A and B are shown apart, each in its own frame.
Chain A
Amino acid sequence: MRRGRAWTVWKIAACDFRLTMREKSAVLWIFLMPLAFITFFGLSFGGGSGRTPLATLTVENNDGGFLSADLVSLLEGENYFIQMSDTLPDGADPVRTLVIPEGFTDGGLGRGKVELVLLRERGSNENAGRAASAAVFRSLARLVSGLVEIEDGLIREGSESIVIRGDTLYGSLLIVSKDGPGMAAVVEQRMDTMLVRPSNVTVRSERAGRGIEIPGGFQSSVPGNLVMFVLMTMLFSGAAITAERQGGLLKRIGMSPAGKGDIVAGKLLGRIFIGVAQIIFLLAAGKLLFRISLGNDIGGLFLLMLAFTFAMGSLSILFGSLLSDPDQVTSLGVITAMAMSALGGCWWPLEMVSAPLRVVAYCLPTGWTINGIHRLISFGMGTAAVLPHIAVLTLFGIVFLAAGAKRLKWDV
């Protein structure tokens, strides 16, 4: 019993997939180069995953005590990249600097009034400045609450030597009245224990509605490079079709029982296999290697990327049909991939570009795909939110495929 058309389509697809995976340069571009690009751009845009440091805060620590060291470590926990002023290169001009005065620890332990100063460069981002102030206050609050707890414990243990006094944020926090420096060591030890202890109460802040959060680091570079490299893989694969036309292979396949429709379907399916392998690999790398969030709907993300692969695989068939030299296909592929990646938001967030360029982005499959990924990953939306995107990408694919099938010639 001889097999039918579906078998023929499968054989063509499997052959194309196998040929691609046997080619070392193809494997380099499909799997390894994307990792290199993700790493480079991820680090360039701040590195890290979802909790990328919000900003840099320079700390000028004039105090040598344990409380100032604890404050710095609490600020790091606030997701700030802390840079100590004494490590700054000559001539560096920090945007915002927290000055911890000499005697901060002593003051905190009740031996005097201390004052923290947050310096901000004129013209620097107001919102970032306010966020830095809030972070400093939150860290101080934790420090103070720790001291209160220690003081309370010491009283219950029979000591009457520590009392709270004054403004917890601006002044002396507690007084070591009788036991002198020996008590400071006790406080330091207990404070260390307390700061590593998980808080009983945490406050999680979430946006009501659609916030505008610009992803950075790997959270931005993984999706951008995923889309760009799937696009490149698909477009470059058009060169193989032209090569088959040149070498008489496509003509020979056309002389077999496979009809033109079977051949186009097989070629497209082979490209989708390659694209799916690349998508799975890069999403897994994003999750496991770069520790990014893939949102709450991995199925929706996969469907969206599948629709994008269909659209671009169809475009590659059109390229392979129109041009008569594989080098021409590769050249056109490079130009198209670069233009579509840049305009579609693969290289930088679309929120950063002007309104007219955002309109251009939505004329391109890349723009729809990046926006869809943004919805799924950054906003945590589900498949329903990207159904229009999937529909538009499918439409792109149908148009490209119809044109490619119509123009497909057996030879060059």
Chain B
Amino acid sequence: MTETIVVKELSKSFGEVRAVRGIDFAVASGEIFGFLGPNGAGKTTTISMLSGLLRPDSGSITIDGMDIASHGRDVRRILGIIPQEIALYEELSGRDNLLFWGGLYGLAGGELKDSVDRALELVELTDRSKDPVRTYSGGMKRRINLCAGLVHDPKIILLDEPTLGIDPQARIRILDVVKGLAGRGKTIIYTTHYLEEAEQICDRIAIIDEGTIHASGTLAELVELVGGKIMVTVSGGFGAEDVRELVGDAEIDHIEDGELRVKLLDRDSTGMLLGGFFSAGLQVDGVAIKEPSLESVFLQVTGRELRD
């Protein structure tokens, strides 16, 4: 498959803060590529560099065969960018906003009008299109925000946390639109800190934290990284040394007084481990079991949970 976006050794610092640290990735044509990471991981900085808004300190970005450093304007013409903020003119109607954003991409006259009509139909807001945006609900604003990045029918779409702060129903609608766009052959980069969104819509996922891509691949490939094992966390009144022998050959992910996190093959192994605890008279206050998932992958590769 053709690689539409190729990023090599990309870095960006703001003063002392190294926001992006030499990341590499490539996105194939027609693919939804997810960037999964917590706030401050470097996702938005990466999107800003991809859109030409920020100049990288080092590294290169090639989009549709064009180097963004030398063909910034041409690259931006084929990009549709949906920012994290709801960046719309609240006093203008939804339609007038789209006419403005479409106009910025060079659309005019009948072509602009038709594009706006199509975009409004896509997000099901035709009937409210003449109302000022300030009268819209949060979910409707998110949809028009999405629409404003699509009105010029871009080849490549960059979505920066497009479902931030909206209700589940509106989120489902937006995810459906994104999946529909992918179905029409658009290349999409989707940043999120919601694991379930990444699992649900992304063909491939890059796990990013502190400006570094820790792992990337399809969901199955990422789960394979943790060996397909379940992660068991036991907490209680025990010392670290008391439980080492009980674990046997199992891989210890983390151990300290009062907490043990260990990778086990299956749930039967968990029962055996807990039986050992009880036989040894060790106090067990809680047991948490995590099946192999993106969350456990995130924990594995970054050393912390996504919500930390």
A, B: real partners: yes
Which of A2, A18, A247 is in CB contact (< 8 Å) with B85? A247
B106 neighbours in A (Cβ, 8 Å):
2-4, 7-8, 257
Cβ A259 vs Cβ B73 within 8 A: yes
Cβ B76 vs Cβ A248 within 8 A: no
Within 8 A of B (CB), among A5-22: 7-8, 11-12, 15, 18-19, 22
Task: Please tell me if B25 contacts chain A, counting CB pairs below 8 Å.
Answer: no
Known: A23-B91, A410-B53. A11 touches B85 (CB 8 A): no
Cβ A248 vs Cβ B83 within 8 A: yes
Task: Please tell me if A164 contacts chain B, counting CB pairs below 8 Å.
Answer: no
Cβ B53 vs Cβ A257 within 8 A: no
Within 8 A of A (CB), among B105-122: 105-108
What sequence of 0s and 1s flags, for each residue 74-108 of chain B, a beta carbon within 8 Å of any chain A beta carbon? 00110101011111110110000000110111111
B103 neighbours in A (Cβ, 8 Å):
3, 7-8, 11
A251 neighbours in B (Cβ, 8 Å):
53, 83, 85, 87
Task: Please tell me if B52 contacts chain A, counting CB pairs below 8 Å.
Answer: yes
Cβ B91 vs Cβ A257 within 8 A: no
Q: In the bound complex, how far is the Cα of B76 from the Cα of A258, in angstroms?
A: 9
Cβ B52 vs Cβ A255 within 8 A: yes
What sequence of 0s and 1s flags, for each residue 254-270 of chain A, a beta carbon within 8 Å of any chain B beta carbon? 11111100000000000
Cβ A15 vs Cβ B105 within 8 A: no
Known: A247-B85, A251-B53, A255-B83. A19 touches B91 (CB 8 A): yes
Interface majority SS on A: helix, strand, loop or mixed?
A: helix
Cβ A19 vs Cβ B104 within 8 A: no
When C-beta atoms are compared, the residue in chain B nearest to A256 turns out to be B104
Which of B76, B88, B92, B100 is in CB contact (< 8 Å) with A257? B76
- Chain B interface size range: 20 to 34
Q: Report the tally of A-B residue pairs with Cβ distances under 8 A.
A: 72
Task: Please tell me if B51 contacts chain A, counting CB pairs below 8 Å.
Answer: yes
A2 neighbours in B (Cβ, 8 Å):
77, 105-108
A12 neighbours in B (Cβ, 8 Å):
104
Q: Chain A nearest CB: distance from B84 CB in Å?
A: 8
Q: Chain B nearest CB: distance from A154 CB in Å?
A: 78
Q: In the bound complex, how far is the Cα of B105 from the Cα of A23, in angstroms?
A: 26
Residues of B at the A interface (CB closer than 8 Å) are 48, 51-53, 72-73, 76-77, 79, 81, 83-89, 91-92, 100-101, 103-108, 148
What are 15 A-B residue pairs whose CB atoms fall within 8 Å in the complex? A3-B106, A7-B103, A7-B108, A8-B106, A11-B100, A18-B92, A249-B89, A252-B81, A253-B104, A255-B48, A255-B52, A256-B104, A256-B105, A257-B73, A257-B104
The 10 closest A-B pairs by CB, nearest first: A2-B106, A248-B85, A11-B103, A252-B87, A248-B87, A256-B104, A255-B51, A3-B106, A255-B81, A257-B76
- Known contacts A19-B89, A22-B91; 16 additional CB pairs below 8 A are A7-B108, A8-B103, A8-B104, A11-B103, A15-B89, A15-B100, A23-B91, A248-B84, A249-B88, A251-B53, A256-B76, A256-B105, A257-B73, A257-B77, A257-B105, A259-B72
